[in-house]
A and B are shown apart, each in its own frame.
Chain A
Amino acid sequence: MKRKVAVTGLGIISPCGNSIDDFSFNLMAGKSGVRRISSAYSSQLSVKIAAEVDFNPLDYFVKKQLSGMDRVSQFALAAASQAWKDSELSLDAKEKERAGVYIGCGMGGGNTIEDLYDQLFKHNADRVRPLTVLMVMNNASASHISIEYGLSGPCLTLSTACASSANAIGEAFRQVRDGYVDVMLAGGAEAFLTYGGFRSWEALRVLAVEDPEDPSKSCKPFSKNRTGLVMGEGAGMVVLEEMERAVRRGAPIYAELIGYGSTSDAGHITRPSLEGQARAMAEALEDAGLLPEDIDYINAHGTATEWNDLSETQAIKKVFGDYACKLPVSSTKSMHGHTMGAAGAIEFIASLLAIKNQAVPPTINLDQPDPQCDLDYVPNIGRTGVTVHSVMSNAFAFGGSNAALIAGKMKG
């Protein structure tokens, strides 16, 4: 017998705000977090825009903690602390053994690696910071969270590039549903806005060209004049909890997590496959026991690259048939950029907020429709006064990993 899974806490660090309230408000207001890069090296880059997080670590940590924590772990822990507080959870020692942490992260401690190489190769340092290994390792974020809250069940880091945190939430969902644990802190984090990071993505020729009139309007998903993705950073964390337990303790319940699909294209390392994407969505629907018509909103992967937006549009049509053209689909990446390993979690949270607020966030910067991308992308203005029972959140990745999550409004 499969158990039900409630979402009882949310936390976020994002280019559109470092609290759920700010994030929710900014998305519905269509406010972009994309801007000119603040770093000193920006003059050396051909692409000078990004979706950076406005984050002062000392608002969250004491100096002693910071000396062993990369920016990515700081984001993860800050988001986790919000989610944990939001859930109002209090676990005893035995319950903590049945609680775990799953984190998605693509690049690990990228800022630390860059500092390390800078010291070694540019400044000929003969030694490096002693905690470098502990800051770079990709499982650092999950471990810090596990230690902070004493959660001694499974603690894993999933790395599937831009689908990482959707996979982390989906796999955590299965852990709770199948009875291995009762509580999971799940989500993801990424902080790869480094000089090397920008250069690497720039070389792939997938980054958006800066909008000549307004840098904040540079990310244009599903638009005919889209030019690519805008790199972002951040973290999103959710508390997943076995439903009966959550109801019994009177927990705040945002939604029920009801479906998860996970596929691999097994094709090309970068070119997306509509088949793989469609199978992830179809699997999630089947897992949730829903029909296509039951979905009221899709938060699309919607990177604003030529290939992704076309492929995702076709995949949605394949799965949803005639209903696809009636279904609101938006890309909030138009506002918070592509937060890479954190994207799945941040966008799952955006989807849950659509249920909470009964309102759908827009795809901004969509002024020139692409005839080949012909769904209802909720252009430019958020939609209020709508009924949102069930939502899907898509995350696709280089490497060919595809994930889809479905959540539903609590009845009653």
Chain B
Amino acid sequence: MPTTFERLRQLFIAHFDYKSEELTATTTLENLGLDSLDIIEFMFDIENEFNIRIPDREFKVTTIQDMVDALDRFISEQDSEQDIGSSSNN
């Protein structure tokens, strides 16, 4: 299973046409020339890829590593919510 970082990197490449070597953990979104509107649009594809919903105003990130950390957090939170939901349904 590819890491969150690798999946995110592939998404960056598909969405923006960046080269793989431009995308490291410490790369900032500002360095990539992305503004807040670009990120909002990109979040739609991120949500699809990771099958999550990113809550409004909770995606304050500077670097790609920040994004990875935030995504891992959302994934684990939403996994546990689903677990609770599915166990309560049983």
Chain A contacts to B: CB under 8 angstroms: 62-64, 67-68, 127, 129-131, 134
B43 in contact with A130 (CB, 8 Å): yes
Q: State whether the Cβ of B73 lies closer than 8 Å to any Cβ in chain A.
A: no
Q: State whether the Cβ of B44 lies closer than 8 Å to any Cβ in chain A.
A: yes
- Residues of chain A contacted by B37 (CB below 8 angstroms): 68, 131, 134
Main secondary structure of the interface of A (DSSP, over half): loop
17 further A-B contacts with Cβ under 8 Å, apart from A62-B17, A134-B37, are A62-B16, A63-B15, A63-B16, A64-B16, A64-B17, A64-B38, A67-B15, A67-B41, A68-B37, A68-B41, A129-B41, A129-B44, A130-B40, A130-B43, A130-B44, A131-B37, A131-B41
In this complex, what residue of B is CB-closest to A67? B41
- Residues of chain B contacted by A127 (CB below 8 angstroms): 44, 47
CB-based closest 6 A-B pairs: A130-B40, A63-B17, A130-B41, A64-B16, A131-B41, A67-B41
CA–CA, A134 and B44, complex, Å: 15
- Residues of chain B contacted by A63 (CB below 8 angstroms): 15-17
Please list 21 pairs of residues, one from A and one from B, whose beta carbons are closer than 8 Å in the complex, sorted by A's number: A62-B16, A62-B17, A63-B15, A63-B16, A63-B17, A64-B16, A64-B17, A64-B38, A67-B41, A68-B37, A68-B41, A127-B47, A129-B41, A130-B40, A130-B41, A130-B43, A130-B44, A131-B37, A131-B40, A131-B41, A134-B37
- Residues of chain B contacted by A62 (CB below 8 angstroms): 16-17
- Residues of chain B contacted by A131 (CB below 8 angstroms): 37, 40-41
Main secondary structure of the interface of B (DSSP, over half): helix
Chain B contacts to A: CB under 8 angstroms: 15-17, 37-38, 40-41, 43-44, 47
CA–CA, A64 and B17, complex, Å: 8
CA–CA, A129 and B15, complex, Å: 13
- Residues of chain A contacted by B38 (CB below 8 angstroms): 64
- Residues of chain B contacted by A134 (CB below 8 angstroms): 37
Shortest CB–CB separation between residue B16 and chain A, in angstroms?
5
In this complex, what residue of A is CB-closest to B34? A64
Shortest CB–CB separation between residue A161 and chain B, in angstroms?
31
- Residues of chain A contacted by B40 (CB below 8 angstroms): 130-131
Shortest CB–CB separation between residue B52 and chain A, in angstroms?
12
CA–CA, A265 and B54, complex, Å: 52
In this complex, what residue of B is CB-closest to A63? B17
- Residues of chain B contacted by A67 (CB below 8 angstroms): 15, 41
- Residues of chain A contacted by B47 (CB below 8 angstroms): 127
Shortest CB–CB separation between residue B30 and chain A, in angstroms?
14
In this complex, what residue of A is CB-closest to B16? A64
CA–CA, A129 and B43, complex, Å: 10
- Residues of chain B contacted by A68 (CB below 8 angstroms): 37, 41
In this complex, what residue of A is CB-closest to B43? A130
CA–CA, A63 and B41, complex, Å: 12
CA–CA, A13 and B62, complex, Å: 40
CA–CA, A64 and B37, complex, Å: 11
Shortest CB–CB separation between residue A140 and chain B, in angstroms?
13
CA–CA, A308 and B23, complex, Å: 58
In this complex, what residue of A is CB-closest to B13? A63
Shortest CB–CB separation between residue B64 and chain A, in angstroms?
16
Shortest CB–CB separation between residue A197 and chain B, in angstroms?
25
